[in-house]
């Protein structure tokens, strides 16, 4: 059995087709989606909202922006909603038209694709393994007029210490540099969001996603938090109706699910510790600290590669993310999601089988 390495995690349709098996037969650890699934009440909500799809969606997403504003203690004018946060990455690259962009790497590959599509030259600042792949000092503000930085970092899951993040933002802002601060995973540690400082820094755009924390990647819903004037400029470059009626309603529903929010954060904290303990007992693995629902892991035995491990894990119907194609990592790195206990147990058993008895 073999399957090509997908460029992103979560490419389960392709893998299932390649392997000739049903989607439901795969256990996906390659995309970092809430193991609780979407919040309760969604099936009923779909029934309720269905009659509305005879109209075009509200292109201003006003109801959702009002709810988001209340949730984040901001104003609706500080929010721009998009068809997943990926749409907003492409929109920012296109609308800001920077002279030169800088990506703090390793990073989500769509930053680079979006900048290429907008014909913006790109440089990379590659963080070091010794720093757990996080920034140790602010990038040189002369290096670019748009910087992409993820906090929590991806794929390591590390948070920058708040004072280092603030110093980085302040240094870039003082030099007139725009910053796209990707907080796609910050919902797992909401207190680490930079949103409270937003008003001080008009060139900062905070990118947020509904898809990971609320388990709705197939629905496509994300948003930017930022300066109202800057968001108007971006909004003028956005395709109309990119956020459908169902997605808008689902976003509003998700925000009101306080019990689900609390259960998710508790589950992820507990299961991340469980996985880290289990992984520490396996041979040839180095893990990195994470604040979120995924773990970056390095194979330390000579000759072992993530590609071979990925193939071996597929025999167990488990998908892991080969992280070799992240700039700054190599063929020894892979990433796994934090899932529910029974699934995590299955992952650890399969990893043990591959690492101890298998041929990597
Ligand atoms: C760090 C990071 N940012 C943004 C995204 C885009 O997520 P979405 O478009 O589903 O909101 C991803 C998706 O994997 C990601 O890993």
pLDDT 10s digits, 319-328: 999 999 999 9
358 has a pLDDT exceeding 90: no
Q: What is the pLDDT of residue 171?
A: 95
Q: What is the pLDDT of residue 11?
A: 86
Tell me how far the alpha carbon of residue 209 lies from the centroid of ligand 1, in angstroms.
7
Beta carbons within 8 Å of 56's beta carbon, 6+ residues apart: 241
- Between 39 and 2, the more confident residue is 39
pLDDT 10s digits, 41-62: 999 999 999 999 999 999 999 9
Pocket probe for ligand 1: among 31, 33, 92, 184, the residue whose CB has the most ligand atoms within 8 Å is 184
CB-based burial label for 83 (10 Å; 0-12, 13-18, 19+): buried
> What band does 4 get if pLDDT is binned at 50, 70 and 90?
low
Tell me how far the alpha carbon of residue 281 lies from the centroid of ligand 1, in angstroms.
31
Which ligand 1 atom lies nearest to the CA of residue 8? 14
Q: Which residue has the tokens 């990592």?
A: 329
> What band does 6 get if pLDDT is binned at 50, 70 and 90?
low
2 has a pLDDT exceeding 60: no
Tell me how far the alpha carbon of residue 183 lies from the centroid of ligand 1, in angstroms.
9
pLDDT 10s digits, 246-267: 999 999 999 999 999 999 999 9
Question: What is the arithmetic mean of pLDDT over 125-150?
Answer: 94
> What band does 268 get if pLDDT is binned at 50, 70 and 90?
very high
Q: What percent of the chain has pLDDT over 70?
A: 98
């Amino acid at each position: 059995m073999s399957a090509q390495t997908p460029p992103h995690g979560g490419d389960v349709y392709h893998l299932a087709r390649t392997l000739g098996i049903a989607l439901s037969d795969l256990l996906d650890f390659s995309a970092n989606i809430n193991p609780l699934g979407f919040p309760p009440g969604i099936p009923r909500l779909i029934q309720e909202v269905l009659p509305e799809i005879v109209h075009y969606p509200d292109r201003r997403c006003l109801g959702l922006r009002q709810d988001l504003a209340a949730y984040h203690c901001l104003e609706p004018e500080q929010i721009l909603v998009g068809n997943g946060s990926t749409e907003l990455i492409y929109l920012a690259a296109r609308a800001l038209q920077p002279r030169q962009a800088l990506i703090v790497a390793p990073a989500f590959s769509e930053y680079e694709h979006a900048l290429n599509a907008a014909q913006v030259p790109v440089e990379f600042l590659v963080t070091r393994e010794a720093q757990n792949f996080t920034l140790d000092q602010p990038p040189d503000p002369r290096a670019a007029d748009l910087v992409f930085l993820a906090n929590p970092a991806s794929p390591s899951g590390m948070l920058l210490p708040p004072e280092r993040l603030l110093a980085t933002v302040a240094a870039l802002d003082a030099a007139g540099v725009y910053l796209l601060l990707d907080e796609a995973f910050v919902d797992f540690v909401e207190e680490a969001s930079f949103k409270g400082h937003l008003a001080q820094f008009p060139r900062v755009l905070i990118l947020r996603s509904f898809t990971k924390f609320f388990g709705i990647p197939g629905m496509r819903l994300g948003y930017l938090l930022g300066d109202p004037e800057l968001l108007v400029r971006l909004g003028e470059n956005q395709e109309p109706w990119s956020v459908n009626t169902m997605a808008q309603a689902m976003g509003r529903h998700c925000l009101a699910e306080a019990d689900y929010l609390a259960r998710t954060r508790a589950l992820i904290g507990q299961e991340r510790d469980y996985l880290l303990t289990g992984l520490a007992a396996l041979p040839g693995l180095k893990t990195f600290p994470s604040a979120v629902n995924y773990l970056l892991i390095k194979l330390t035995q000579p000759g072992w590669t993530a590609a071979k491990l990925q193939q071996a894990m597929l025999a167990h119907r488990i998908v892991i993310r080969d992280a070799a194609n992240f700039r700054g990592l190599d063929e020894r790195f892979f990433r796994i999601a934090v899932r529910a206990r029974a699934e995590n147990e299955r992952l650890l058993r399969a990893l043990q089988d591959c690492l101890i008895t298998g041929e990597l």
